[in-house]
Amino acid sequence: MGMMKAWVLAHQAPIGMNPLEKVNLEMPEPGRGEIRIKVVACGVCRTDIHIAEGDLPLKKSPLVLGHEIVGVVDKVGEGVTRFRPGVRVGVAWLNAACGTCKFCRSGRENLCPEARFTGWDVNGGFAEYTVVHEDFAFPLGDKLSFEALAPMMCPGIAGYRCYRLSGVAEGEILGLYGYGPTASYVLQVAHAKGVKAFVVTRSEANQQAAREMEADWVGGPGDSLPDKMDAAIIFPPAGNLVEKVLANLQRGGRLVLSPVTMTPITIADYNHIWMERSIISLANISRRDGVEFLHLAERAGFKSRFETFGFDDLPEVMIRVKDGKVKGNAVIWID
């Protein structure tokens, strides 16, 4: 059996203490229904940092992080029908779901209590090879580069789910609070579907990036909006934004909270949530989100904002991601 290079997390520690270690691991063999992927690139997500630092519990050790995986099928296990060696493939956060619980049966596998996640419950993409069940891998077209596709596997698909949860329809206005990689994909989805996007962000650089993507209005948190919004999505974990955003929603408007954690939320004035305004949080992604988003991204030629780094740079890159010093999404090139 061959060996491969991988970055593993053995113990959780602050990212500045370099908790990742580069090691040689046995190359994984694809089991029944599984495919082995030669990883070409893997994006770095804030969730990787949350796992490395202990904000999320460690479920296995040593663990290979990384769930924005793109590459080429290298070997298929027994019974595989959807893939053959040599085709382009992607793997995202949802690695497995039970298929039988009430959430799975009602199209909400993202809420499955038995769900497993890439780079958390099972080894992820910061390695030369990874394996996944064929049912949880996404075929990729030829139109977009691997580097552009990597960030689509998490911010892209999660952004698409946020968009779906917002419930906006053609001709309506969607507000985006914060403008990182996820918001940039939501903006592109909105435009592809005839929805206007207002972007509110403090950062000058992000305001500029939103203008370059032709956001319909861009401003800072102190600016007054040109119109009420039909729905909005908050990306930073700032609970104090919630009431302010609700106050700018149309009646019946929906507010989506994208973060995994949030500072305390208070709604002091009932008028801001009355008239059937509602709040919903995002949790994980489903395969449907991935299939629909990747189709749309390929068809419409979505743009990704990313910086590419080498395999050996990963520990340094994680520090830069944590400090917000990467322009767009960090992508590790593994080839």
Chain residues binding Zn ion by CB under 5 A are: 45, 47, 97-98, 101, 104, 112, 154
CB 114 within 8 A of CB 62: no
CB neighbour burial string for 188-221, b if at least 16 within 10 angstroms, e if fewer:
bbbbebebbbbbbbeeeebbebbeebebbbbbee
Q: Per the structure block, which two tokens stand in for 230?
A: 């039909």
- DSSP class of residue 251 equals E
Cβ atoms < 10 Å from Cβ of 14 = 13
Instruction: State the Cα–Cα distance between residues 226 and 220, nearest whole angstrom.
Output: 13
Contact 113, 94 (CB under 8 A): no
Tokens of 206: 């992000």
We find the least distance from the C-beta atom of residue 105 to Zn ion, in angstroms, to be: 8
CA distances from 206 to 173, 232, 256, 284 (A): 20, 18, 20, 25
Token couple for 256: 């989506």
Cα(250)–Cα(138) distance, integer angstroms: 37
CA distance 212 to 242: 27
